Chain A
Amino acid sequence: DIQMTQSPSSLSASVGDRVTITCRASQTVSNFLNWYQHKPGKAPRVLIYGASNLQSGVPPRFSGSGSGTDFTLTITSLQPEDFATYYCQQTYSTWTFGQGTKVDIK
């Protein structure tokens, strides 16, 4: 299976900060890379699909980039509702997920 490694595993940030989370695949996943946000007790939601496509209804402060093995999720100006855990997922072959990045308040 393709291993997905996110970094960092956690980070502390303030409202208004620019936040960058990276996801590295153990082999190429082309652009079949998705990003999800998950808050405790709620259903996860997709933010970015196909590495860089913003899901309908997701604020434009979220963006994704990358292809092949290296990907980035960027939040340009962190809002209070963005404190959550973020996961990457590849759907290139047997689907696998990253271990998650928890974003909390500094």
Chain B
Amino acid sequence: QVQLQESGPGLLKPSETLSLTCTVSGGSISPYYWSWVRQSPGKRQEWIGYIHFSGSTNYNPSLKSRVTISVDRSKNQFSLKLTSVTAADTALYYCTRIGAPPTGGWYLDLWGRGTLVTVSS
């Protein structure tokens, strides 16, 4: 069965760049859309953005100026970069797959377990 695994540094200093990778195992990254979601302590989940396996992207406007999501089909991975992090970016970061039924309305049909990223000086 398809599984998602997030990886990357767990501790960053303010102003650094957060870099996370999601490895897709048990299936292909094609032809799906893939997404990142985060949840800061005590807050609700926040959608960060998504990418199609072809490379087209869409970002949450609140984060768009700092976010880049990319895909590496040869490694069956997609990645998140978030620049100029602050303590407010401390969160559990999840990678997800997007389901897109023909009737419309997307949803997150597969999730990783999440990886905690802490921003602290």
Residues of A within 8 A of B (CB): 1, 30-34, 36, 41-46, 49-51, 53, 55, 87, 89, 91, 94-100
Contacts and interface: CB of A to CB of B under 8 A. Distances in A.
Contact of A98 (B44, B47, B106): B44
Contact of A94 (B60, B94, B99, B101): B60
A98 B46 CA distance: 10
B113 interface: yes
Given A43-B113, A94-B61, A50 B107 contact: yes
A99 B47 contact: no
A55 B113 contact: no
B114 A97 contact: no
B108 interface: yes
Most buried by B among A1, A42, A44, A53: A44
B106 A42 contact: no
Given A1-B62, A43-B112, 6 more contacts: A33-B105, A34-B108, A46-B99, A51-B105, A89-B45, A95-B60
B94 A34 contact: no
Q: Is the interface of A mostly helix, strand, loop or mixed?
A: loop
B34 interface: no
Contacts of A31: 105
B33 to A, nearest CB: 11
B107 A91 contact: yes
Top 8 closest A-B pairs, CB basis? Answer: A49-B107, A95-B47, A32-B105, A97-B45, A43-B111, A34-B107, A50-B105, A91-B106
Most buried by A among B46, B101, B111, B113: B111
Given A94-B60, A96-B47, A89 B108 contact: yes
25 contacts: A32-B105, A33-B105, A34-B107, A41-B113, A42-B113, A43-B94, A44-B108, A44-B111, A46-B107, A46-B108, A49-B99, A49-B101, A50-B107, A51-B105, A53-B103, A89-B107, A91-B105, A91-B107, A94-B47, A94-B60, A96-B47, A97-B44, A97-B47, A98-B44, A100-B44
